[in-house]
Amino acid sequence: MTKIRVMSENLANKIAAGEVVEKCASVLKELVENAIDAESTNIKVILKDGGLKEISVIDNGIGMDKEDATLAFYRHATSKIYKDDDLYFIETLGFRGEALASIASVSEVELITCNGTSSTHVHIKGGETLSIGDGMVRKGTEIHVTNLFYNTPARLKYLKSEVTELNNCTAFIEKLALSKPNIAFSLSNNDRVIVKTSGSNNLLKTIHEIYGLNVSSNMLELKCASDDFVVSGFVSKPSILKKNRNHFNTLFMEKQKVLEEEKLNEELNKEQIDITLPGTKITSGSPNILEKLVEDIETVFISMGYDVLDGPEIEEDKFNFELLNIPKGHPARDAQDTFYIKDDEILLRSQTSPVQARTMLKYEGKKPIRMICPGKTYRRDDDDATHSHQFMQIEGLVVDKKISLSDLKGTMDVIFKHLFGESCETRFRPSYYQFTEPSVETDISCFACHGKGCSLCKNTGWITVAGAGIVHPNVLKNCGYDPNSWTGFAFGFGAERLAMLKYGINDIRTFYQTDLREVSPFDKRED
């Protein structure tokens, strides 16, 4: 993207009045649109208390250098227009150079950005720059907005409730995700995921991810064209239309509001509360422990510059086995281990490795890759305390120049120290897999006995948690990469196994049942 510069006074005066930040959704809109303009394919939104406490946007876009990161907070500073004629050829969501300046003037803002060459950390409060220093190492941008309207009490008091602000933010992200199905969006509030799309560039799949199966299965595809334009998309059947006031015109909406207020006042005047009655006990819920762990792992890998990708669960033999150097006749292909749907060609994926093969083919051997692919996998297995026919697998792939086992070891150290504490050690043992050479088993030091020996580690002091290795040259060649120029490493581990170790869960079936007696005693330590 072109360098940021301050617009001339003449050009600035031709643009409409400055940005007005009036609610949490206004802040979120500007930050997310900036992320889209920065060519991001993965945008993560993290809210605290509906955005009232904090609004964070994390992307994997092109980032900025130190000069641009500083200029970005100046009023009328932009990289998108330089002269009057540019106003007639705007192809970005933002262009006026007003948003960040307006946000920073009424809040505390931290910007952390990296363009792949340099990284920068900018801290601003109330429009005053507090510090400028070095930032992160992964390419992309993080921006955190806290204490919104702390210095403008008159505007602060007009913020709505947490529920209302959250609903406004959620509605904005949902609409944006529908308009940009090629971008993976996630929105969480107080560690609870509300919106999550895969960025598959499939509009119908995005509709399904946002609104669920009942809506997506009742959509009708729409396509029409003329000499001047083309319209395509989906329209819902009348049976699933929401019958609420948002679908009425403004006149009826206002009238309904008046009638509702009159009825509420009437009921309040009649209502009496018996203060002698006992109070009602309100029980609280908690996020699924497995989902929580997967999101935690995703966050760590994103911070290291990895993309989080997804692929189809109904897969072809070509991607599940053939491209991964697993030949015909290999035991992994046997029908007693694999769920085949049609002959020996269509199956339920037995691993998430097909996503790696698809990604390498997509890049045609021209780009480095850093990715993880968490998702459901299926294998013919008898369900018991430690086995399941369905389980979550998290696999990773790095392809670049001069990748070695030491790079793999460093990555394993980071992820397992995060999960099990800084005292956790990792080691490699020789192993064998068709798709890596050399192959290793990854062990971690036992966090229960600290290497002394116990029942958890079978008195060895070590626990096996992952399989990994250097990508086999045949796999690189099959997927379009020259093994003489490119190397890489791959790894994979089961999410359920890690969760069972981390939270002291003894039965894998616990993750897939609704017995609260099993859920309540979870040890939720965060070592």
Q: What's the confidence (pLDDT) of residue 12?
A: 43
Dihedral angle over CA of 407, 413, 416, 418, nearest 10 = -110
Q: What's the confidence (pLDDT) of residue 283?
A: 66
Mean pLDDT of 281-307: 84
The residues that bridge with 121 in the sheet, in sequence order, are: 112, 133
Q: What's the confidence (pLDDT) of residue 490?
A: 96
523 has pLDDT over 60: no
As given in the structure block, the two tokens for residue 7 are 């617009």
- Comparing 16-30, 109-123, 441-455, the range with the smallest average pLDDT is 16-30
For residues 47 and 128, the model is more confident at: 47
Q: What's the confidence (pLDDT) of residue 14?
A: 38
pLDDT grade for 383, boundaries at 50, 70 and 90 = confident
Q: Which amino acid is at 492?
A: G
For residues 243 and 259, the model is more confident at: 259
Determine the 3-state secondary structure of 487 from DSSP.
strand
- Comparing 35-44, 174-183, 300-309, 385-394, the range with the smallest average pLDDT is 385-394
Most confident among 8-17, 115-124, 510-519 (mean pLDDT): 115-124
CB 475 within 8 A of CB 396: no
pLDDT grade for 1, boundaries at 50, 70 and 90 = very low
Q: What's the confidence (pLDDT) of residue 16?
A: 45
Q: What's the confidence (pLDDT) of residue 243?
A: 46
Q: What's the confidence (pLDDT) of residue 356?
A: 94
Q: What's the confidence (pLDDT) of residue 78?
A: 63
- Comparing 143-157, 160-174, 250-264, 394-408, the range with the smallest average pLDDT is 250-264
Mean pLDDT (the chain, rounded): 83
Q: What is the C-alpha R_g of the chain?
A: 26
Q: What's the confidence (pLDDT) of residue 354?
A: 94
17 has pLDDT over 50: no
What is the tens place of the pLDDT at every residue in 443-474?
999 988 887 888 888 888 999 999 999 999 99
Nearest to 393 by CA among 343, 346, 356: 356
525 has pLDDT over 60: no
CATH class of 289-519: alpha beta
Q: What's the confidence (pLDDT) of residue 369?
A: 95
Determine the 3-state secondary structure of 495 from DSSP.
helix
522 has pLDDT over 50: yes
173 has pLDDT over 50: yes
Q: What angle do CA 385, 386, 389 make, to 5 degrees?
A: 100
What is the tens place of the pLDDT at every residue in 261-283?
777 777 767 766 666 777 777 66
What is the tens place of the pLDDT at every residue in 184-225?
999 999 999 999 999 999 999 999 998 888 888 888 888 888
pLDDT grade for 182, boundaries at 50, 70 and 90 = very high
What is the tens place of the pLDDT at every residue in 338-376?
888 988 889 999 999 999 999 999 999 999 999 999 999
Q: What's the confidence (pLDDT) of residue 45?
A: 96
- pTM for the model: 0.47
Domain ranges of the chain: 5-213, 289-519
Residue partners of 334: CB distance under 8 A and separation at least 6: none
Q: What's the confidence (pLDDT) of residue 158?
A: 73
Say if strands 369-378 and 307-308 run parallel, antiparallel, or are unpaired. Answer: parallel
Nearest to 5 by CA among 61, 59, 83, 117: 83
CATH architecture observed for domain 5-213: 2-Layer Sandwich (3.30)
139 has pLDDT over 80: yes
Q: What's the confidence (pLDDT) of residue 456?
A: 84
pLDDT grade for 89, boundaries at 50, 70 and 90 = low
Q: How many residues does the chain have?
A: 527
Nearest to 473 by CA among 437, 503, 441, 439: 437
